[in-house]
Amino acid sequence: MIENAALIIFPALMAYAASSDLLTMTISNRISIALVVSFLALAFAVQMPLQDIMVSLGCGLAILALTFALFCFGWIGGGDAKLAAATSIWLGWGQVLDYGIAASIFGGLLTIVLIQVRKWPLPQVLMRQPWIARLHDNATGIPYGIALAAAGLVVYPHSQVWLRAIGA
């Protein structure tokens, strides 16, 4: 049962965050809150030591401080900052650097693809879809939550909470 929770909860929330950012250019606070609460529930369920839980929470707070600074400079959105912090709680200090590197790579690729696609005219049938029109607009930012979610999914199998859940 715990393995199933570990297999489903984090990936489902990452997929929801990515799709939400793609379709609406927003990431709800509820997603970040759900990530924090579900991490705590799973960490206690897999009997993660309290000290390790606190260290993971500290990692999330540090990443929140960093990403909040990036948000203040206008470099990322507020939802991206909160998602990165909440995801970092799941990954912990042992994986947060890998997460940052993966998010940077995925974010760079996503940015390059969107810049190129935005140069092409879209067929009218696609332009009638509000989310596609918004995504195609040069004035719109990059839905970086997609990159953050993809990076989280790539790094998650190496996280302490996952390894404890599967008994590794």
Number of domains in the chain: 1
Give me the phi and psi of 61, to 5 degrees please.
-65, -40
Cα-Cα-Cα-Cα dihedral sign, residues 40, 27, 21, 112: negative
* pLDDT tens string 3-26: 888 999 999 999 999 999 999 999
Cβ(67)–Cβ(81) under 8 Å? yes
How far apart are the C-alpha atoms of 11 and 153, rounded to whole Å?
Answer: 6
Place of tokens 């997609």: 146
Interacting residues of 149 by C-beta distance below 8 A, sequence separation 6+: 14, 15, 17, 18, 21, 83, 87
Measured in whole angstroms, how far is the alpha carbon of residue 70 from the centre of its chain?
16
- Tens-digit pLDDT profile for residues 54-64: 999 999 999 99
**Does residue 168 have a pLDDT over 70?**
no
Mean pLDDT throughout 104-127? 94
pTM of the complete model: 0.94
Angle between helices 2-24 and 78-91 in degrees, nearest 10:
160
Average pLDDT value over all residues in the chain: 95
CA distance 37 to 47: 15
Contact, 60 vs 89, CB < 8 A? Answer: yes
Structural domain containing residue 157: 2-165
